[in-house]
Amino acid sequence: MTGVGGLAGKAYDQLFTQVFTRTDPEWIHHKAFAAVRAARPLTQRMVGAGTAQLGEPVEAMGIRFPHVLGLAAGFDKNAVGVDALAALGFGHVEIGTVTGEPQPGNPTPRLFRLPEDRAIINRMGFNNDGAEAVARRLAARTASGKVSDVVLGVNIGKTKVVPESDAIADYEKSTGLLAPHADYLVVNVSSPNTPGLRDLQAVEKLEPLLRAVRRRADEVTGERRVPLLVKIAPDLSDEDVVAVADMAGAVGLDGIIATNTTISRDALRSDPAKVAEVGAGGLSGRPLTQRSLAVMRLLRERVGPDMTLVGVGGITTVEDARARLEAGATLLQGYTAFVYEGPLWPRRIVSGLARG
């Protein structure tokens, strides 16, 4: 990275080291996201009206993606900055996780950095405005006519206070409200921060849930079939990964997103006392690289060449991105590297992949 890009990258590194690491991560997230939204006119002129010129288009699930790299769910939970994020160079943006009912999430503090590991621990707990509010916001976005060519994914999860016995109805509510606005839909059963959620990854519970979401999506979208994916955890055993892969084929899912955050704290460089002080939550970033890569290889071997697989978890460099694609990923997503590397990161990854 040289010239203006190199100077901007160094400036962001200094800002991150001197300011961000000394400030509450969640507060900084909100301020930085507000700045991204405010800067949209400038960044859109830099990138262009869309994102297609950054890399090679990808056809997946019947959708034309401008290029392989998107922003993972969790950054824009409430669909307040989809097109501003696209202007930074993301080819797709996955909003959410959105739940059937609005909820504040877990008590603060709930977001923590581990700079030595280029990692983040979060226990946000699906804090979001709820499916009704997000659906209204997406409808207003479309009505505004100021929509970029970014592909919009919508990630849905279970409301915390809803018992497992009513989980399907909760997901169906979100599906009915949000599927009409989505280019693709993701069922999240893999966050570690909603009690009992990961239990839904068991195939005997996951299959009826996915079939119900598929039916509801078809009811509200008519002839426009919205692709459906499931997002899984890196903490599944290899045997369970294979079981999910087989079930995805049986149900007719369009894809699998691998992987969400991990509850593991193995092989971290950070001071163990600091890690213990942070406590529970999902770990994201570089420590996930190898396990997420292994899960991707396992999935691709099991599902064959046709199903869409989205690689996420520990993708920081162009080499990381290339390795995930070589392991079988159709598309890629990032989150933690975007936080650590700054607003030029998506453009750097996509242009690096395009250079081969």
Q: 203-221 vs 167-178: helix axis angle to the nearest 10?
A: 30
In b/e form, how buried is each residue of 16-52, taking b as 16+ CB within 10 angstroms? beeebeeeebbebeeeebeebbeebeebbeebeeebb
> What is the length of the chain?
356
* Binding-site residue set: 73-77, 97, 122-126, 155, 188, 193, 231, 259-261, 285, 314, 335-336
Q: What are the backbone dihedrals phi and psi of residue 121, each rounded to the nearest 5 degrees, phi first?
A: -115, 130
Question: Which segments are annotated as binding site for FMN?
Answer: 73-77, 97, 155, 188, 231, 259, 285, 314, 335-336
Distance, CA of 214 to CA of 228 (rounded, Å): 7
Residue 292 a catalytic site member: no
How many whole angstroms separate alpha carbon 237 and alpha carbon 198? 13
- The one catalytic residue among 190, 191, 284, 292: 191
CA distance 255 to 306: 9
Annotated binding site for substrate: 77, 122-126, 188, 193, 260-261
Tell me if residue 244 falls in helix, strand or coil. helix
Active-site residue list: 191
